[in-house]
Homo-oligomer: A and B are copies of this chain.
Amino acid sequence: MRIIRTKGGNLDSIVKEIRGGREVFDEGILGTAREIVEDVAARGDEALFFHTERLDGFRLDAKNVEVSQEEMSEALAGLTETEEEVIAFAAKRIRTYHERQMEGLKGDWRWDEGEGSFLGQVVRPLKRVGIYAPGGLASYPSTVLMAAVPARTAGVEEIILATPSRPGALAPAMARAAQISGIKRIFRVGGAQAIAALAHGTTTVPRVDKIVGPGNAYVAAAKKLVFGQVAIDMIAGPSEILIIADAEADPALIAADLLGQAEHDELAVALVATPSEPLAKAVAGEVARQLARLPRAQTAGAALKGQGAVIITADLDEAFELANRFAPEHLELLVAEPHRELSRVKNAGCVFLGAASPEAVGDYTAGSNHILPTCGTARYASPLGVYDFLKRISVVGLSPRAFQRYGRKAADFAKLEGFAGHAASIAIRDRL
Protein backbone atom coordinates (compact mmCIF):
# COMPACT_ATOMS: atom_id res chain seq x y z
CA MET A 1 0.00 0.00 0.00
CA ARG A 2 1.46 3.30 -1.13
CA ILE A 3 2.07 6.21 1.19
CA ILE A 4 1.70 9.55 -0.59
CA ARG A 5 2.58 12.90 0.92
CA THR A 6 0.69 16.04 -0.14
CA LYS A 7 2.91 18.92 -1.05
CA GLY A 8 0.86 22.12 -0.81
CA GLY A 9 -1.60 22.47 -3.61
CA ASN A 10 -1.22 19.15 -5.42
CA LEU A 11 -4.57 17.75 -4.19
CA ASP A 12 -6.12 17.72 -7.64
CA SER A 13 -3.18 15.87 -9.12
CA ILE A 14 -3.48 13.23 -6.36
CA VAL A 15 -7.20 12.84 -7.09
CA LYS A 16 -6.44 12.52 -10.78
CA GLU A 17 -3.65 10.01 -10.23
CA ILE A 18 -5.81 7.74 -8.08
CA ARG A 19 -8.80 7.88 -10.39
CA GLY A 20 -6.37 7.42 -13.27
CA GLY A 21 -7.14 8.27 -16.86
CA ARG A 22 -9.79 5.54 -16.80
CA GLU A 23 -12.73 6.33 -19.00
CA VAL A 24 -16.10 5.34 -17.56
CA PHE A 25 -16.96 3.89 -20.95
CA ASP A 26 -14.56 2.69 -23.56
CA GLU A 27 -15.82 2.91 -27.09
CA GLY A 28 -15.92 -0.86 -27.52
CA ILE A 29 -18.31 -1.36 -24.61
CA LEU A 30 -20.53 1.50 -25.70
CA GLY A 31 -20.62 0.20 -29.27
CA THR A 32 -21.49 -3.35 -28.24
CA ALA A 33 -24.16 -2.12 -25.85
CA ARG A 34 -25.60 0.14 -28.55
CA GLU A 35 -26.00 -2.76 -30.98
CA ILE A 36 -27.86 -4.82 -28.37
CA VAL A 37 -30.08 -1.91 -27.28
CA GLU A 38 -31.01 -1.08 -30.86
CA ASP A 39 -31.74 -4.70 -31.67
CA VAL A 40 -34.07 -5.13 -28.68
CA ALA A 41 -35.76 -1.81 -29.48
CA ALA A 42 -36.40 -3.05 -33.02
CA ARG A 43 -37.11 -6.77 -32.59
CA GLY A 44 -38.39 -6.98 -29.00
CA ASP A 45 -38.62 -10.41 -27.38
CA GLU A 46 -36.94 -12.15 -30.31
CA ALA A 47 -33.79 -10.08 -29.82
CA LEU A 48 -34.05 -10.31 -26.02
CA PHE A 49 -34.03 -14.13 -26.15
CA PHE A 50 -31.35 -14.18 -28.84
CA HIS A 51 -28.87 -12.08 -26.85
CA THR A 52 -29.65 -13.93 -23.62
CA GLU A 53 -28.76 -17.22 -25.28
CA ARG A 54 -25.69 -15.75 -26.96
CA LEU A 55 -24.33 -14.05 -23.82
CA ASP A 56 -25.81 -15.88 -20.82
CA GLY A 57 -25.84 -19.32 -22.38
CA PHE A 58 -29.45 -20.31 -21.81
CA ARG A 59 -32.51 -20.24 -24.02
CA LEU A 60 -35.63 -18.40 -22.82
CA ASP A 61 -39.09 -18.12 -24.32
CA ALA A 62 -42.25 -16.13 -23.66
CA LYS A 63 -43.37 -18.78 -21.16
CA ASN A 64 -40.35 -18.90 -18.88
CA VAL A 65 -38.82 -15.45 -19.21
CA GLU A 66 -40.88 -14.36 -16.23
CA VAL A 67 -40.42 -16.20 -12.93
CA SER A 68 -43.66 -18.05 -12.15
CA GLN A 69 -45.45 -18.29 -8.79
CA GLU A 70 -44.49 -21.94 -8.63
CA GLU A 71 -40.81 -21.28 -9.12
CA MET A 72 -40.98 -18.47 -6.60
CA SER A 73 -42.46 -20.82 -3.99
CA GLU A 74 -39.84 -23.47 -4.73
CA ALA A 75 -37.03 -20.94 -4.40
CA LEU A 76 -38.45 -19.63 -1.12
CA ALA A 77 -38.67 -23.19 0.21
CA GLY A 78 -34.89 -23.40 -0.15
CA LEU A 79 -34.25 -20.38 2.07
CA THR A 80 -31.98 -21.04 5.08
CA GLU A 81 -32.85 -19.76 8.54
CA THR A 82 -29.91 -17.32 8.53
CA GLU A 83 -30.91 -15.99 5.13
CA GLU A 84 -34.47 -15.43 6.29
CA GLU A 85 -33.35 -13.75 9.49
CA VAL A 86 -30.81 -11.33 8.04
CA ILE A 87 -32.95 -10.40 5.05
CA ALA A 88 -35.97 -9.64 7.24
CA PHE A 89 -33.79 -7.70 9.68
CA ALA A 90 -32.13 -5.59 7.00
CA ALA A 91 -35.41 -5.01 5.16
CA LYS A 92 -37.02 -3.63 8.31
CA ARG A 93 -34.13 -1.27 9.02
CA ILE A 94 -34.05 -0.05 5.43
CA ARG A 95 -37.81 0.48 5.45
CA THR A 96 -37.69 2.50 8.66
CA TYR A 97 -34.85 4.69 7.35
CA HIS A 98 -36.67 5.42 4.13
CA GLU A 99 -39.95 6.15 5.91
CA ARG A 100 -38.08 8.83 7.84
CA GLN A 101 -36.67 10.06 4.57
CA MET A 102 -40.21 10.45 3.22
CA GLU A 103 -41.17 12.49 6.29
CA GLY A 104 -38.02 14.56 5.87
CA LEU A 105 -39.03 15.26 2.28
CA LYS A 106 -42.13 17.38 2.64
CA GLY A 107 -44.35 16.74 -0.31
CA ASP A 108 -46.94 19.13 -1.66
CA TRP A 109 -46.60 22.81 -0.88
CA ARG A 110 -48.69 25.88 -1.65
CA TRP A 111 -47.91 29.54 -1.99
CA ASP A 112 -51.25 31.16 -1.22
CA GLU A 113 -51.46 34.71 -2.47
CA GLY A 114 -54.94 35.48 -1.18
CA GLU A 115 -58.04 36.19 -3.27
CA GLY A 116 -58.32 32.47 -4.05
CA SER A 117 -55.04 32.47 -5.94
CA PHE A 118 -52.17 30.09 -5.35
CA LEU A 119 -49.12 28.45 -6.86
CA GLY A 120 -47.36 25.33 -5.68
CA GLN A 121 -46.37 21.80 -6.45
CA VAL A 122 -47.82 18.36 -5.92
CA VAL A 123 -45.74 15.20 -5.59
CA ARG A 124 -46.63 11.91 -7.28
CA PRO A 125 -44.89 8.51 -7.24
CA LEU A 126 -43.69 7.00 -10.50
CA LYS A 127 -46.00 4.28 -11.72
CA ARG A 128 -43.71 1.49 -12.87
CA VAL A 129 -40.07 1.03 -11.95
CA GLY A 130 -37.55 -1.56 -13.17
CA ILE A 131 -34.83 -2.76 -10.84
CA TYR A 132 -31.71 -4.33 -12.26
CA ALA A 133 -29.74 -6.73 -10.07
CA PRO A 134 -26.84 -8.91 -11.17
CA GLY A 135 -27.57 -12.63 -10.99
CA GLY A 136 -25.66 -15.86 -10.99
CA LEU A 137 -22.72 -16.30 -8.61
CA ALA A 138 -22.44 -12.60 -7.79
CA SER A 139 -26.10 -12.11 -6.85
CA TYR A 140 -26.70 -9.62 -4.06
CA PRO A 141 -30.05 -9.77 -2.26
CA SER A 142 -29.01 -6.68 -0.28
CA THR A 143 -29.06 -4.65 -3.49
CA VAL A 144 -32.60 -5.81 -4.26
CA LEU A 145 -33.66 -4.50 -0.83
CA MET A 146 -31.79 -1.22 -1.31
CA ALA A 147 -33.47 -0.54 -4.65
CA ALA A 148 -36.97 -1.89 -4.03
CA VAL A 149 -37.69 -0.76 -0.47
CA PRO A 150 -37.38 2.99 -1.20
CA ALA A 151 -39.46 2.55 -4.39
CA ARG A 152 -42.18 0.89 -2.37
CA THR A 153 -41.93 3.48 0.42
CA ALA A 154 -42.37 6.21 -2.18
CA GLY A 155 -45.60 4.57 -3.35
CA VAL A 156 -44.57 3.05 -6.69
CA GLU A 157 -47.38 0.75 -7.84
CA GLU A 158 -45.43 -1.74 -9.93
CA ILE A 159 -41.87 -2.77 -9.20
CA ILE A 160 -40.29 -5.14 -11.69
CA LEU A 161 -37.02 -6.97 -11.12
CA ALA A 162 -34.68 -8.01 -13.94
CA THR A 163 -32.01 -10.43 -12.80
CA PRO A 164 -30.51 -13.17 -14.97
CA SER A 165 -31.04 -16.80 -13.95
CA ARG A 166 -31.49 -20.09 -15.75
CA PRO A 167 -35.09 -21.34 -15.60
CA GLY A 168 -35.62 -23.02 -12.25
CA ALA A 169 -32.43 -21.58 -10.77
CA LEU A 170 -33.61 -18.49 -8.89
CA ALA A 171 -31.54 -18.10 -5.70
CA PRO A 172 -33.70 -18.42 -2.56
CA ALA A 173 -32.23 -15.26 -0.99
CA MET A 174 -32.99 -13.28 -4.14
CA ALA A 175 -36.55 -14.63 -4.14
CA ARG A 176 -37.03 -13.63 -0.50
CA ALA A 177 -35.48 -10.18 -0.93
CA ALA A 178 -37.84 -9.58 -3.86
CA GLN A 179 -40.85 -10.86 -1.95
CA ILE A 180 -40.18 -8.92 1.25
CA SER A 181 -39.75 -5.65 -0.63
CA GLY A 182 -42.97 -5.92 -2.61
CA ILE A 183 -41.68 -6.97 -6.01
CA LYS A 184 -44.44 -8.80 -7.88
CA ARG A 185 -42.76 -9.69 -11.16
CA ILE A 186 -39.27 -11.04 -11.89
CA PHE A 187 -37.80 -11.38 -15.38
CA ARG A 188 -34.78 -13.64 -15.68
CA VAL A 189 -32.89 -11.45 -18.15
CA GLY A 190 -29.67 -9.51 -17.64
CA GLY A 191 -27.06 -7.40 -19.41
CA ALA A 192 -27.62 -4.65 -21.95
CA GLN A 193 -30.54 -6.61 -23.40
CA ALA A 194 -32.42 -6.47 -20.08
CA ILE A 195 -31.93 -2.71 -19.84
CA ALA A 196 -33.14 -2.31 -23.42
CA ALA A 197 -36.20 -4.46 -22.75
CA LEU A 198 -37.15 -2.41 -19.66
CA ALA A 199 -36.61 0.87 -21.53
CA HIS A 200 -38.47 0.05 -24.73
CA GLY A 201 -40.79 -2.74 -23.61
CA THR A 202 -41.20 -6.04 -25.47
CA THR A 203 -44.17 -8.36 -25.80
CA THR A 204 -43.33 -10.00 -22.47
CA VAL A 205 -41.42 -7.29 -20.60
CA PRO A 206 -43.37 -4.10 -19.82
CA ARG A 207 -41.79 -0.70 -20.44
CA VAL A 208 -40.93 1.06 -17.18
CA ASP A 209 -40.63 4.74 -16.23
CA LYS A 210 -37.26 4.43 -14.50
CA ILE A 211 -34.47 1.85 -14.24
CA VAL A 212 -32.38 1.66 -11.05
CA GLY A 213 -29.68 -0.62 -9.73
CA PRO A 214 -26.05 -1.47 -10.47
CA GLY A 215 -24.63 -3.81 -13.08
CA ASN A 216 -21.47 -4.51 -15.06
CA ALA A 217 -19.92 -2.19 -17.66
CA TYR A 218 -22.38 -3.28 -20.38
CA VAL A 219 -25.34 -2.63 -18.10
CA ALA A 220 -23.92 0.80 -17.26
CA ALA A 221 -23.35 1.58 -20.95
CA ALA A 222 -26.88 0.46 -21.83
CA LYS A 223 -28.32 2.66 -19.08
CA LYS A 224 -26.47 5.63 -20.50
CA LEU A 225 -27.83 4.82 -23.97
CA VAL A 226 -31.48 4.52 -22.92
CA PHE A 227 -31.32 7.63 -20.71
CA GLY A 228 -33.92 10.05 -22.09
CA GLN A 229 -36.16 7.17 -23.17
CA VAL A 230 -36.56 6.31 -19.49
CA ALA A 231 -35.10 7.79 -16.33
CA ILE A 232 -32.12 6.04 -14.76
CA ASP A 233 -30.70 6.39 -11.27
CA MET A 234 -26.99 6.80 -11.85
CA ILE A 235 -24.13 5.12 -13.64
CA ALA A 236 -22.21 3.04 -11.14
CA GLY A 237 -18.43 2.76 -11.18
CA PRO A 238 -16.01 0.90 -8.90
CA SER A 239 -16.73 1.16 -5.17
CA GLU A 240 -14.67 3.61 -3.06
CA ILE A 241 -13.80 4.44 0.51
CA LEU A 242 -11.84 7.36 1.89
CA ILE A 243 -11.05 7.39 5.62
CA ILE A 244 -10.05 10.62 7.34
CA ALA A 245 -8.09 9.67 10.46
CA ASP A 246 -6.25 11.60 13.14
CA ALA A 247 -3.25 10.38 15.12
CA GLU A 248 -5.45 8.69 17.75
CA ALA A 249 -7.35 6.48 15.28
CA ASP A 250 -6.94 2.70 15.52
CA PRO A 251 -4.85 1.44 12.58
CA ALA A 252 -6.30 -2.10 12.86
CA LEU A 253 -9.87 -0.82 12.32
CA ILE A 254 -8.75 1.34 9.43
CA ALA A 255 -6.99 -1.59 7.77
CA ALA A 256 -10.05 -3.82 8.20
CA ASP A 257 -12.29 -1.21 6.59
CA LEU A 258 -9.87 -0.71 3.69
CA LEU A 259 -9.79 -4.45 3.07
CA GLY A 260 -13.58 -4.71 3.26
CA GLN A 261 -13.65 -2.20 0.42
CA ALA A 262 -10.77 -3.68 -1.56
CA GLU A 263 -12.27 -7.18 -1.66
CA HIS A 264 -15.13 -5.95 -3.94
CA ASP A 265 -13.07 -6.02 -7.12
CA GLU A 266 -9.69 -5.10 -8.50
CA LEU A 267 -10.81 -1.59 -9.42
CA ALA A 268 -12.06 -0.76 -5.90
CA VAL A 269 -10.56 2.36 -4.33
CA ALA A 270 -9.36 2.37 -0.70
CA LEU A 271 -7.77 5.54 0.69
CA VAL A 272 -6.75 7.06 4.00
CA ALA A 273 -6.04 10.75 4.49
CA THR A 274 -4.22 11.58 7.73
CA PRO A 275 -1.81 14.21 8.98
CA SER A 276 -0.09 11.55 11.14
CA GLU A 277 2.95 9.84 9.66
CA PRO A 278 3.14 7.21 12.45
CA LEU A 279 -0.52 6.30 11.78
CA ALA A 280 0.16 6.09 8.04
CA LYS A 281 2.94 3.59 8.62
CA ALA A 282 0.94 1.60 11.16
CA VAL A 283 -2.01 1.33 8.71
CA ALA A 284 0.26 0.09 5.92
CA GLY A 285 1.64 -2.55 8.28
CA GLU A 286 -1.81 -3.64 9.48
CA VAL A 287 -3.08 -3.90 5.92
CA ALA A 288 -0.24 -6.23 4.97
CA ARG A 289 -0.87 -8.36 8.08
CA GLN A 290 -4.68 -8.63 7.68
CA LEU A 291 -4.52 -9.11 3.92
CA ALA A 292 -2.79 -12.46 4.38
CA ARG A 293 -5.83 -13.83 6.24
CA LEU A 294 -8.42 -12.65 3.70
CA PRO A 295 -10.12 -15.28 1.46
CA ARG A 296 -10.24 -12.75 -1.38
CA ALA A 297 -6.63 -11.67 -0.78
CA GLN A 298 -5.80 -11.68 -4.47
CA THR A 299 -8.58 -9.30 -5.46
CA ALA A 300 -8.03 -7.05 -2.45
CA GLY A 301 -4.28 -7.02 -2.99
CA ALA A 302 -4.67 -5.99 -6.62
CA ALA A 303 -7.12 -3.22 -5.68
CA LEU A 304 -4.82 -1.88 -2.97
CA LYS A 305 -1.84 -1.97 -5.28
CA GLY A 306 -3.75 -0.11 -8.00
CA GLN A 307 -5.93 2.32 -6.08
CA GLY A 308 -4.90 1.98 -2.45
CA ALA A 309 -2.97 4.71 -0.67
CA VAL A 310 -2.41 6.41 2.64
CA ILE A 311 -2.08 10.12 1.94
CA ILE A 312 -0.20 12.17 4.51
CA THR A 313 -1.70 15.65 4.56
CA ALA A 314 -0.35 18.87 6.07
CA ASP A 315 -3.21 18.88 8.62
CA LEU A 316 -6.81 17.73 9.07
CA ASP A 317 -8.08 20.74 7.09
CA GLU A 318 -6.19 19.51 4.08
CA ALA A 319 -7.54 15.99 4.58
CA PHE A 320 -11.10 17.36 4.41
CA GLU A 321 -10.22 19.46 1.39
CA LEU A 322 -8.85 16.35 -0.35
CA ALA A 323 -11.99 14.38 0.53
CA ASN A 324 -14.24 17.10 -0.87
CA ARG A 325 -12.28 17.15 -4.12
CA PHE A 326 -12.29 13.36 -4.34
CA ALA A 327 -16.02 13.16 -3.50
CA PRO A 328 -15.83 9.54 -2.32
CA GLU A 329 -18.74 7.11 -2.31
CA HIS A 330 -18.04 6.23 1.36
CA LEU A 331 -16.33 8.61 3.79
CA GLU A 332 -15.36 7.48 7.30
CA LEU A 333 -14.43 10.10 9.88
CA LEU A 334 -12.16 8.47 12.46
CA VAL A 335 -11.32 11.70 14.26
CA ALA A 336 -11.78 13.01 17.80
CA GLU A 337 -15.20 14.62 17.32
CA PRO A 338 -16.72 13.20 14.14
CA HIS A 339 -20.19 14.68 14.73
CA ARG A 340 -18.71 18.19 14.87
CA GLU A 341 -16.71 17.71 11.69
CA LEU A 342 -19.73 16.70 9.61
CA SER A 343 -20.31 20.32 8.56
CA ARG A 344 -16.96 20.26 6.72
CA VAL A 345 -18.13 17.49 4.39
CA LYS A 346 -19.35 18.93 1.08
CA ASN A 347 -19.09 15.97 -1.31
CA ALA A 348 -19.64 12.31 -0.35
CA GLY A 349 -22.20 9.56 -0.83
CA CYS A 350 -22.47 8.40 2.78
CA VAL A 351 -20.53 9.62 5.81
CA PHE A 352 -19.73 7.26 8.69
CA LEU A 353 -19.08 8.96 12.01
CA GLY A 354 -16.62 7.34 14.40
CA ALA A 355 -15.29 3.87 15.11
CA ALA A 356 -18.72 2.32 15.82
CA SER A 357 -19.95 3.18 12.31
CA PRO A 358 -17.97 1.01 9.91
CA GLU A 359 -18.91 1.10 6.25
CA ALA A 360 -19.99 -2.55 6.30
CA VAL A 361 -22.93 -1.63 8.56
CA GLY A 362 -24.03 0.90 5.94
CA ASP A 363 -23.85 -1.87 3.33
CA TYR A 364 -26.44 -3.99 5.10
CA THR A 365 -28.21 -3.12 8.31
CA ALA A 366 -27.80 0.58 9.17
CA GLY A 367 -30.90 1.22 7.09
CA SER A 368 -29.33 3.91 4.90
CA ASN A 369 -28.96 3.09 1.22
CA HIS A 370 -25.86 1.41 -0.17
CA ILE A 371 -26.56 2.47 -3.77
CA LEU A 372 -24.38 5.58 -3.73
CA PRO A 373 -22.69 7.94 -6.21
CA THR A 374 -19.20 6.80 -7.30
CA CYS A 375 -16.37 8.14 -9.50
CA GLY A 376 -16.60 11.65 -8.07
CA THR A 377 -20.28 12.03 -9.02
CA ALA A 378 -21.04 12.80 -5.35
CA ARG A 379 -20.15 16.33 -6.53
CA TYR A 380 -23.70 16.44 -7.88
CA ALA A 381 -25.52 13.19 -7.13
CA SER A 382 -27.32 11.79 -4.08
CA PRO A 383 -27.69 8.31 -2.60
CA LEU A 384 -30.61 6.34 -4.04
CA GLY A 385 -33.67 7.41 -2.06
CA VAL A 386 -37.42 7.85 -2.04
CA TYR A 387 -36.92 11.08 -4.04
CA ASP A 388 -35.73 8.91 -6.96
CA PHE A 389 -39.23 7.46 -7.20
CA LEU A 390 -41.20 10.69 -6.91
CA LYS A 391 -41.74 13.51 -9.37
CA ARG A 392 -43.23 16.95 -8.94
CA ILE A 393 -45.95 18.69 -10.88
CA SER A 394 -46.15 22.48 -10.73
CA VAL A 395 -49.54 24.09 -10.21
CA VAL A 396 -50.65 27.58 -11.29
CA GLY A 397 -54.07 28.48 -9.94
CA LEU A 398 -54.69 32.20 -10.46
CA SER A 399 -57.87 34.04 -9.59
CA PRO A 400 -59.07 36.69 -12.07
CA ARG A 401 -57.75 39.46 -9.78
CA ALA A 402 -54.33 37.85 -9.50
CA PHE A 403 -54.33 37.44 -13.26
CA GLN A 404 -54.96 41.16 -13.68
CA ARG A 405 -52.27 42.04 -11.17
CA TYR A 406 -49.35 40.06 -12.49
CA GLY A 407 -50.56 37.67 -15.13
CA ARG A 408 -51.01 40.44 -17.69
CA LYS A 409 -47.39 41.48 -17.26
CA ALA A 410 -46.52 38.24 -19.04
CA ALA A 411 -47.74 39.79 -22.30
CA ASP A 412 -45.00 42.44 -22.17
CA PHE A 413 -42.31 39.80 -21.70
CA ALA A 414 -43.78 37.67 -24.50
CA LYS A 415 -43.64 40.65 -26.90
CA LEU A 416 -40.01 41.26 -25.92
CA GLU A 417 -39.21 37.71 -27.02
CA GLY A 418 -41.29 37.99 -30.20
CA PHE A 419 -44.20 35.77 -29.21
CA ALA A 420 -47.32 37.62 -30.36
CA GLY A 421 -49.48 34.53 -29.91
CA HIS A 422 -48.51 34.29 -26.25
CA ALA A 423 -49.37 37.98 -25.80
CA ALA A 424 -52.70 37.48 -27.58
CA SER A 425 -53.63 34.64 -25.22
CA ILE A 426 -53.19 37.12 -22.36
CA ALA A 427 -54.99 39.99 -24.10
CA ILE A 428 -58.06 37.86 -24.90
CA ARG A 429 -58.55 37.44 -21.14
CA ASP A 430 -59.13 41.17 -20.57
CA ARG A 431 -62.79 40.28 -20.23
CA LEU A 432 -62.16 38.11 -17.12
Among A65-73, A178-186, A422-430, the one that faces the other chain is: A422-430
Q: Is there an interface contact between B368 and A394, defined as CB atoms closer than 8 Å?
A: yes
CA A357 to CA B105, docked complex, whole Å: 28
Whether A419 sits at the interface, judged by CB under 8 Å, is yes
Among A2-10, A90-98, A162-170, the one that faces the other chain is: A90-98
Task: Show the binding face of A for B, using Cβ within 8 Å.
Answer: 24-25, 82-83, 85-87, 89-90, 93, 96-97, 100-101, 103-106, 108-109, 111, 119-122, 124, 126-127, 140-142, 173, 209-210, 224, 227-231, 235, 252-253, 256-257, 259-264, 290, 293-296, 300, 338-339, 342, 345-369, 372, 377-383, 385, 387, 391-400, 402-403, 406-407, 409-414, 416-417, 419-426, 428-429, 432
Enumerate chain B residues within 8 angstroms of A364, measured Cβ to Cβ. 409-410, 413-414
Enumerate chain B residues within 8 angstroms of A346, measured Cβ to Cβ. 124, 127
Enumerate chain B residues within 8 angstroms of A300, measured Cβ to Cβ. 421
Q: A355-B432, A356-B402 are known contacts. Are A413 and B380 too (CB-CB below 8 A)?
A: no
**Other contacts beyond A86-B416, A111-B367: 5, CB < 8 A:** A260-B422, A293-B424, A353-B396, A360-B423, A365-B406
Q: Is there an interface contact between B391 and A361, defined as CB atoms closer than 8 Å?
A: no
Q: Is there an interface contact between B429 and A380, defined as CB atoms closer than 8 Å?
A: no
Q: Which residue of B lies closest to A234 (CB)?
A: B228
Enumerate chain B residues within 8 angstroms of A105, measured Cβ to Cβ. 105-106
CA A216 to CA B197, docked complex, whole Å: 29
Q: Is there an interface contact between A429 and B253, defined as CB atoms closer than 8 Å?
A: yes
Q: Is there an interface contact between B121 and A407, defined as CB atoms closer than 8 Å?
A: no
Q: Is there an interface contact between A392 and B383, defined as CB atoms closer than 8 Å?
A: yes
Enumerate chain B residues within 8 angstroms of A264, measured Cβ to Cβ. 419
Q: A360-B410, A361-B403 are known contacts. Are A396 and B351 too (CB-CB below 8 A)?
A: yes
Q: Which residue of B lies closest to A80 (CB)?
A: B416
Partner of A228, one of B122, B235, B411: B235
CA A422 to CA B239, docked complex, whole Å: 13
Enumerate chain B residues within 8 angstroms of A411, measured Cβ to Cβ. 360
CA A420 to CA B385, docked complex, whole Å: 28
Q: Is there an interface contact between B235 and A361, defined as CB atoms closer than 8 Å?
A: no
Q: Is there an interface contact between B86 and A352, defined as CB atoms closer than 8 Å?
A: no
Q: Is there an interface contact between B338 and A425, defined as CB atoms closer than 8 Å?
A: no
CA A379 to CA B411, docked complex, whole Å: 30
Q: A86-B412, A420-B294, A421-B296 are known contacts. Are A426 and B358 too (CB-CB below 8 A)?
A: yes
Enumerate chain B residues within 8 angstroms of A399, measured Cβ to Cβ. 356
Q: Which residue of B lies closest to A128 (CB)?
A: B379
Q: A260-B421, A356-B402, A358-B407 are known contacts. Are A119 and B366 too (CB-CB below 8 A)?
A: yes
The 4 closest A-B pairs by CB, nearest first: A104-B109, A263-B421, A364-B410, A353-B397
Partner of A378, one of B141, B345, B391: B391
Q: Is there an interface contact between B119 and A425, defined as CB atoms closer than 8 Å?
A: no
Q: A142-B413, A397-B338, A413-B365 are known contacts. Are A358 and B231 too (CB-CB below 8 A)?
A: no
Enumerate chain B residues within 8 angstroms of A391, measured Cβ to Cβ. 378-382
CA A409 to CA B90, docked complex, whole Å: 8
Enumerate chain B residues within 8 angstroms of A382, measured Cβ to Cβ. 391-393
Q: Is there an interface contact between B351 and A394, defined as CB atoms closer than 8 Å?
A: yes
Enumerate chain B residues within 8 angstroms of A394, measured Cβ to Cβ. 349-351, 362, 368-369, 372, 383
Q: Which residue of B lies closest to A107 (CB)?
A: B104
CA A382 to CA B105, docked complex, whole Å: 15
Q: Which residue of B lies closest to A207 (CB)?
A: B379
Q: Which residue of B lies closest to A332 (CB)?
A: B396
